[in-house]
Amino acid sequence: MSKFTKITFDKVLIGGCVLVILVIFPGIMLYWSSHPQAEQQVSQAEHSAVTAVDPAPAELPENAGAPPVSPGTRAANIVSTTVDGKPYTFDSQANHIKIVEFWATWCGPCNMSIPAIIDLDNSLRGSGVETVGVSMDTDTAAQVKPFAESMGMHYTVLVDPQKNPLAGEVYNASGLPSIYIIDGKGIIRWSFSGYWDGEEQYVRQVINEIQTGQPVDQS
């Protein structure tokens, strides 16, 4: 190879390297700079799609145990008195889906459950759903009305130190709170004793299944 040829080859080689640096390398950098932004946009789109979907029903706690009453059992009529002194029976609200909670003023878990029941009542009122709180207070029965008012329990609250405990026995409400979902035909479709974070979401799902004619899963 002559000296002239070698110099020409070196110039071509150097020119090629300069071309790579000036043209191709900026293109690579441009891709790198735009690619994370594209990934971020996709991630944001996926997040929006996920958050737009209603959350899945809450899972029952693993230690939930058997329901107080087997699904499919006909609900016994409750005869009691409201905190306003008015007589009450289940028959007076026939064809309504009922959320029935046995509770007491001295029950700690009830104090955590009641706000969820209040939210359910506020959102479902007027949709053919009735909420009933059955107080199990006996010696503390006089505290039920002021307690209900302070908590904002604007649904039907029953207080009767003689009749309500008997109703609790019929409904096997040995643990408080005990919640029962009764359909418009008077059949207990779902029940649970105790309180867990997420019960409001689960109860709402059960009621939706009843309203849409779906089978209720009590598992």
pLDDT at res. 4: 42
pLDDT at res. 215: 81
Helix, strand or coil, per DSSP, at residue 116: helix
C-alpha 180/C-alpha 161 separation (Å) is 20
C-alpha 194/C-alpha 107 separation (Å) is 10
pLDDT at res. 219: 61
Helix, strand or coil, per DSSP, at residue 80: strand
Residue 75: phi and psi, rounded to 5, are: -70, 130
pLDDT at res. 30: 44
C-alpha 45/C-alpha 60 separation (Å) is 31
C-alpha 166/C-alpha 78 separation (Å) is 9
Polymer length in residues for the chain: 219
> Hey, what are 29's tokens?
């950098």
Q: Which residue, among 158, 218, 165, has the nearest Cα to 188 in the 3D structure?
A: 218
Q: Which residue, among 137, 63, 129, 135, has the nearest Cα to 96 in the 3D structure?
A: 129
pLDDT at res. 52: 30
93 near 79, Cβ under 8 Å? Answer: no
- pTM attached to this predicted model: 0.72
List per-residue pLDDT tens for the chain, 219 residues long: 544 444 444 444 444 444 444 444 444 444 444 444 433 333 333 333 322 333 444 566 665 557 899 999 999 999 999 999 999 998 766 789 999 999 999 999 999 999 999 999 999 999 999 999 999 999 999 999 999 999 999 999 999 999 999 999 999 999 999 999 999 999 999 999 999 888 899 999 999 999 999 887 766
User: Long-range CB contacts (< 8 A, 24+ apart) of 183-186?
Assistant: 183/97, 183/210, 184/94, 184/95, 184/96, 184/97, 184/128, 186/74, 186/75, 186/90, 186/94
What is the spatial order of strands in the sheet that 178-182 belongs to?
156-158, 129-135, 97-103, 178-182, 188-193
C-alpha 75/C-alpha 122 separation (Å) is 24
Q: Which residue, among 146, 157, 165, has the nearest Cα to 88 in the 3D structure?
A: 157
